Chain A
Amino acid sequence: ETGVTQSPTHLIKTRGQQVTLRCSSQSGHNTVSWYQQALGQGPQFIFQYYREEENGRGNFPPRFSGLQFPNYSSELNVNALELDDSALYLCASSLGPGANTEAFFGQGTRLTVV
């Protein structure tokens, strides 16, 4: 059974650029959630994808967008990067969309915007 993997592990981008982060969900999981963890904070929900459709969104602007593919892997895209987007981005996969379903997290992608 493969776990949740994210790529890349670290990334440095310039303000105004665009970035794509990738997540491979755990085998058998059809739901992927993305979280942003700023320094000294807890993870904040960005959005969730269930069977290739967005299934809920947190308080993040539209320049944060995502995709889920038929194999349930997922991408997080951020346009027009701002310095405050610097954070650890976590992907979590689960067997279903309900939050009462155990979520398995990847190791995260550390994004630095300069």
Chain B
Amino acid sequence: DQQVKQNSPSLSVQEGRISILNCDYTNSMFDYFLWYKKYPAEGPTFLISISSIKDKNEDGRFTVFLNKSAKHLSLHIVPSQPGDSAVYFCAASDGGNQFYFGTGTSLTVIP
């Protein structure tokens, strides 16, 4: 039972434009959400997080939006750069000791 879903396996964006990666979840007990970025042959790297008490968190070019009523979050990257090309995983926690990951979205930023 996939509690965190990323329905777009891939996304291509022109350099300089906005990249929007989406994530949906089903468990209303999730209270903390994260985005990880993964390059080939490397482990996932933490990118940005958001607590359920907020609806937006911004860190430089990266902004995460949380819509609790829709059980949806999104990651915005502005402006997109070729070095952002990677697989992005959305993850969620219910306060326990594990993350629940989505299946990932492969982002390609075209120069």
Contacts and interface: CB of A to CB of B under 8 A. Distances in A.
Interface string B14-47: 0000000000000000001000100001111110
A28 interface: no
If over half of A's interface residues share one DSSP class (helix, strand or loop), that class is named, otherwise mixed; here it is loop
B46 A104 contact: yes
Which of A44, A58, A100 has most chain B Cβ within 10 Å? Answer: A100
B97 A33 contact: yes
A43 B89 contact: yes
A40 B94 CA distance: 24
A9 to B, nearest CB: 8
Contact of A107 (B41, B96, B103): B41
Interface string A89-109: 010100001111011111110
Nearest to A37: B101
Interface residues of B, number: 25
24 contacts: A4-B43, A41-B103, A42-B6, A42-B89, A42-B102, A42-B104, A44-B101, A45-B99, A48-B97, A48-B98, A55-B97, A56-B96, A56-B98, A98-B95, A98-B97, A99-B94, A99-B97, A100-B32, A102-B46, A103-B99, A104-B46, A105-B43, A105-B44, A105-B45
If over half of B's interface residues share one DSSP class (helix, strand or loop), that class is named, otherwise mixed; here it is loop
A107 B42 CA distance: 4
Interface string B76-96: 000000000000010101111
Which of B44, B93, B94, B104 has most chain A Cβ within 10 Å? Answer: B44
A100 B101 contact: no
Contacts of A35: 101
Given A42-B4, A42-B104, A43-B89, A103 B46 contact: yes
B7 to A, nearest CB: 13
Nearest to B98: A45
A41 B100 CA distance: 12
